Amino acid sequence: MKYAVIAISGTQFKVEENQKLSVDNLNLKEGEKSSTDQVLLTANDDKIKIGTPTVKDALVEFEVLKNYKGEKLTVFKYKSKSRYRKTTGFRPQLSEIKITKITL
């Protein structure tokens, strides 16, 4: 089984080829292909390489499938005994990507 642990937008993901996942907005257009060299760990059957901090010559290629807004998140601030309550919310900008190739 071939997989890698990558860092995209400050978040780590364990990915395999042909896997779809949602990440923070990458500022890429839909259908655009890109790659990342922020590969922290690679595994190919029994061979595991751990980077210090990244694995040299490892590359993960992906394609942006769509850019969209996520579900609304509610943020609630509260301080006891002072009648302070504040509710705000936002919808995060996300990108759905598909991992096309893992080069070790």
Question: Average pLDDT of each block of 10 consecutive residues along the chain (104 residues)?
Answer: 93 96 95 95 93 93 97 97 97 97 92
Of 65, 67, 69, nearest to 33 by C-alpha is 65
* The predicted structure's pLDDT at residue 18: 96
| Amino acid 104: pLDDT | 85
Q: What is the pLDDT of residue 1?
A: 85
Q: What are phi and psi of 22, to 5 degrees?
A: -105, 130
CA proximity to 16, closest of 38, 58, 44, 56 = 44
Report whether 26 contacts 8 (CB < 8 A). yes
Instruction: Give pLDDT, residue 71.
Output: 97
Q: Which of 62, 75, 59 is nearest to 22 (CA)?
A: 62
